[in-house]
Chains A and B, each alone.
Chain A
Amino acid sequence: MLKPGDPAPDFDLPSAVAGRATRTRLRDLKNELVVLFFYPHDFSFVCPTEVTGFNHALADFKAEQSAVLGASVDSVDSHIRWAEELGGIGYPLLADEGGKLARAFGVLDDKEPVALRATFILDSKRAVAYALASPFNVGRSISETLRVVRAIRTGHLCPADWEPGVAFGPNELKY
């Protein structure tokens, strides 16, 4: 699994955005940060809360100059139908059929084979700034991801559980 500081692999994948098929290239994203989250499968009773949760918070991420991308090993058609089932998803769902991207990020579970529940935040140079993997049956916290995005964007040392409005730590200290 890639760790903070590692360069993110570039990708150019078919994707579903707002009910239509398109392609998403990492290099074309102009946002300051990119939140890329992997999930195991479309049409699951466990994943939807994450996929819809990121969608509900999409405006907040955009306000932080951050793009949100979801990725699973399902096809674009599957993503389109899944997004429709969920009431519409406003960010790209990448069709990582074969799991090449998940493997490149080191989060492909070869047994299934599907991606682990992993989240990466890529910085402006498209290096990994933050990486997290969660068990299959535990959904991730969207608000925590947003908190980390905000913390990264400050460029300051942020203490544990830092929230906007809370004082930063002195730069000479390490947490």
Chain B
Amino acid sequence: MQDGVLTTAGVLFGLSGAVSDRSQVILAALASTAAGALSMAAGAYLGTRAEAEVLQGELERTRKQARERPYIVQEGLLRELAKEGLDREAAYRVVKLLSVSPRALLTTAEQKMYGYGGGMMGNAALDGLVMGVAFVAGALFPLVPFFLIPSKDLGLAAALGATALALFSVGYFQGWLAHSGQRWRCGVRFVTIAIGAAVAGYLIGMAISPLGASAG
């Protein structure tokens, strides 16, 4: 979500420094939002799908091995348990006990040997959709005030405020999720980064605006 906020705010402030026509800025921000959302959605979709395919391949290989040569899975699990501090004999007895149920052996081996947990296979389409929607939702924070307020400067100020508020909220929420005692600091860190990006974007736009004038 913060990608949508930051990218769109960066485009708004950067173009506002370079282009005087407010509608052009809005058009570019909308185009940037659409392109960004599609790019993020496609990236998330492809990433999740590739990861799921790799995980699926590993799981199938392990399951085949467990069927055909269970002692390899048993020995692998025994070594993992030994690495975690069980002595070899205790690890052997745990694995032997688990081997009574092939499913229990396989599930435990997958978790210990390969780090797989249940539900780790992501839904590529859902991940892509969530990423795209989150990007658009983030983009709306700077975009809507700028779009609704006719004055370019006031619109920019409102967009800046909305951006700061959105990023602070994201940072605060992240701190809350992490059970951090420094939720306000997390929020402020996000805002600082956002303002830095916005200011940098605006200054770069100002710096390159003469290039646009000479090209026209």
Binding site for B on A (CB under 8 A): 41-46, 74, 78, 81-82, 137
Contacts and interface: CB of A to CB of B under 8 A. Distances in A.
B75 A44 contact: yes
Interface stretch (B87-95, B119-127, B141-149, B190-198): B87-95
B2 interface: no
Interface string B21-52: 00000000000000000000000000000000
B89 A44 contact: no
A47 to B, nearest CB: 9
Given A41-B88, A46-B75, A82-B89, 6 more contacts: A42-B88, A42-B89, A45-B75, A45-B78, A45-B92, A78-B88
Nearest to B89: A43
A17 to B, nearest CB: 20
13 contacts: A41-B88, A43-B78, A43-B88, A43-B92, A44-B92, A45-B74, A45-B75, A45-B78, A45-B92, A46-B71, A78-B89, A81-B89, A82-B89
Nearest to B95: A45
Nearest to B75: A45
B72 interface: yes
Contacts of A43: 78, 88-89, 91-93
A50 B92 CA distance: 17
B78 A44 contact: yes
A46 B76 CA distance: 10
Contacts of B78: 43-45
B190 to A, nearest CB: 47
Contacts of A74: 88
Interface string B103-122: 00000000000000000000
A43 to B, nearest CB: 4
B130 to A, nearest CB: 43
Contacts of B75: 44-46
A44 B88 CA distance: 8
A137 B73 CA distance: 12
Interface in B163-182: none
Contacts of A42: 88-89
Nearest to A137: B72
Contacts of A41: 88
A169 to B, nearest CB: 39
Nearest to B91: A43
Contacts of A137: 72
Contacts of B71: 45-46
Nearest to A82: B89
A43 B91 CA distance: 9
B139 to A, nearest CB: 54
Contacts of B93: 43
B18 to A, nearest CB: 62
A42 B72 CA distance: 16
B77 to A, nearest CB: 9
Nearest to A48: B71
A42 B91 CA distance: 12
Q: Which of A45, A46, A74, A82 has the most CB of B within 10 A?
A: A45
A89 to B, nearest CB: 16
Q: What are the 6 A-B residue pairs with the smallest beta carbon separation, nearest first?
A: A43-B92, A45-B74, A45-B71, A45-B75, A43-B89, A43-B88
